[in-house]
Structure 1
Amino acid sequence: MIKKHYFAGISIPFQPTALKFISDNEQDNIIYERHYFIIKNLEINFLTTLIMNHTPIYFKDNYLVIENSIMLEKIDVKSFDDIIIFYEFPGRKYKLNMFFTSPVKYEAKKGFINKIICSVFNHNNNPYEIKQTYYDINVERLLVMIKQCLTYADIPDLKNSIYWRTEDGKNIFQRTKLIYSKDNLSLTNVLKKHKIITNE
């Protein structure tokens, strides 16, 4: 049976697993509890579940700060390169792909596990991009903050996201919008630049 433990206010299941080891005198059976969330190949797969409603988003010392239960993501407000938004139909979620010219800084909140996870992010994550899924209430607030950083950002109407359609030459992208490109690239070229789609 999987038990639930609470970490930073979030329910995380733990699964009992049998482990055998040999001591000097005898072989013992030990039951230990293994975290159900997985750090696989030093990549964290559960952070999206932590981006819940009312995520703190604010400006501090020329950084746009996105806060979650584990860490702070600090974005230099002058470092935005490209931003793309995808509506994850159906539902209330949107994926933002944000690319930067300066690395994102990750700062752990208090707690030993938080520091370990943050260390993995700093070591293994691409510090020049954030690809994250947010609920609508958070993405609305984040887009307002982005607009304050980038006057020429094209903020789409989330209420019509099901009808989003971008025609770019021969390419048609459903439920996808280019919010900003520092070099004034088209959506197709931004997607190619960041290897989201391949060159023909």
Structure 2
Amino acid sequence: MSIPCFVILQILVTCEGLVAYAYFSQKGCDPIASQQISNPNQIIPYLVTDLLTGVPGITGLYLSALCSASLSTISSLLSSISAVTSEDFIRPRFKKASEKTLTQLSKLIVVFAGVVCIGIAIMISKVQGPMGQIADSILGAVSGPMAAVFLLSIFVRCTTRKGLYSSVVVGACFGIWLSLGYNFSPGRLQSPILPLGPTEKCILYHNTSLPLNNCTLCERMRTCL
């Protein structure tokens, strides 16, 4: 059921990119070539800001909807991580722990996971590749070991719990290492991109500051301080 939704999403994203490229090419001011933005992932917010500037409230509505959708998804994920960690890892090992203690530990797990997410977001902001490609590489690094756990449990009867845990840890570390090398290595292979659009119609603002000389005339106009 998710495959048709994924295909529709990819078609919409592709059309969105084509519209942005055609708009800035016809306008004669490519924001990447003119260095108005530093990362290609900033092109859609910049397009909305540039295209809907004359309509009051639409730009703020778009940015607020984008932020609210991101925050709602992230908050749900953080709550899920906290619940799974406390119920599957902490409660079985500390059976005498009270509900108050487990609640406090769950809150600490949420804070720790939030700090990790902020660090990952800062790190990803430095990557120049497409956002979809970055997300696919991260999901591939994690989903591969999880799929291996299910396959190993189904086809190998002599599998033990320690073997499953060790395979997940080793597979995740190897996948994360490949993902980091793919996204951050200076010698990585990059897919060719479309040529940048024209910039002859760009309106760039330059701010030049000149020092002012302040001269005070005395009564006899003999000295100038």
* Higher helix content, 1 or 2: 2
Structure of larger gyration radius: 2
* Higher strand content, 1 or 2: 1
The reply to whether TM is greater than 0.5 is no
TM range (shorter): under 0.3
Given the two structures, how large is their TM-score scaled by the length of structure 2?
0.18
